[in-house]
Amino acid sequence: MKQNIKVAVDAIVFGYSHNQLMVLLIRRKYGELKGQWALPGGFVKDDEGLDTAVVRELQEEAGISVNFLEQLYTFGDQVDRDPRFRVISVAYFALVNPSRLVLKADTDADDAQWFPIQGLPALAFDHADIIRMAVARLQSKLQYQPVGFDLLPEQFLFSDLEQLYATILDQAIDRRNFRKKILSLGVVEETTQKVQQQSGRPAMLFRFNKRKYQKLQKEGISFEIKFA
C-alpha cells in the first residue's frame, strides 16, 4: 500500500522573562497559512535525522541554537492536523534564557518573537495543543528534576527561583518548605554578593552548583513541592 505521509519536527522553546513563562513563535511567510503564528519547525529532509532537522529549523526560522532539546511527543492521530496533506510531527522542547539569544527570522518565517504562555495569539495547525502538552510535561518535570539553570541569570535572589517555580506551576508554593528542600539538594549555593532591595536589608545572591545540578539532572530526584 502506497503511503503519502510527510514527517516534520516542531520546537517548543520555553523562556522566562519578567516573571512570565514564555514560548518562542514564528510568523509564517508562505502558503495558505501565511501570516499565522506557529512553532518553529518544518519538514525533515530525506538525508537527515530528526535531531538534526529540529536544530536546523530553529536556526533557519529563528536564528538560534539551544544547548539541549528533549523529545516531547509524536503528533499524528489527527489526520487533518495540516490542511495541505497528512503530516506526522515529532515535537521537541527546550528551556532557555531569552536574554542570551538574538532572534532573527529567516527562510519560511517573517518574524520571530517571545510570547507569554498566558497571552498566546491564535496558532496554526494543532500547535496550541502541542504547547499545552509541553507545559504539562514541564510542570511534571519539576517533580523529579531541578529546573532553572537555563532560565535564570548566573546569580539570582532565592525569591527569583521561588517565583520561577510558582510561575511554571501556576500556583503559589510553600516558600519555607521549598527553600529547605532546594538547599538540602545542594543545587544552589550562596555567593558572597548581596543586592540592595527596595525595602529591608540587602539580600544574598545565589548561584547554581553546576556539577551537583548536572548530576541530579542525570539521576533524577523525588521532589515533592508543597503548595501554599
Residue 75: CB atoms within 10 Å: 20
* Count of domains observed in the chain: 2
Beta strands 6-17; 87-95: pairing state? parallel
Q: State the average pLDDT over residues 200-224.
A: 83
Residue 126: its pLDDT value, please?
A: 95
Choose the final residue of a domain: 87, 109, 141.
141
Is 147 within the bounds of a domain?
no
Per DSSP, which regions of 185-224 are E strands?
A: 188-195, 203-208
Residue 91: its pLDDT value, please?
A: 98
Q: Quick one: cell of 11? A: 520546537
The predicted-structure confidence for 111-141, as pLDDT tens digits, reads as follows 999 999 999 999 999 999 999 999 999 999 8
Give residue 173's domain range.
156-219
Residue 217: its pLDDT value, please?
A: 76
The predicted-structure confidence for 147-190, as pLDDT tens digits, reads as follows 877 889 889 999 999 999 999 999 999 999 999 989 988 889 99
Residues 131 and 207 in one domain: no
Radius of gyration of the chain (CA): 19
Q: What is the CATH number of the domain that holds 26?
A: 3.90.79.10
Choose the final residue of a domain: 88, 113, 141.
141
Cβ atoms of residues 57 and 94 within 8 Å: no
Choose the final residue of a domain: 114, 141, 168.
141
Q: Quick one: cell of 56? A: 536546523
Is 150 within the bounds of a domain?
no
| Average per-residue pLDDT for the chain | 91
Q: What percent of the chain has pLDDT over 90?
A: 65
* pTM attached to this predicted model: 0.91
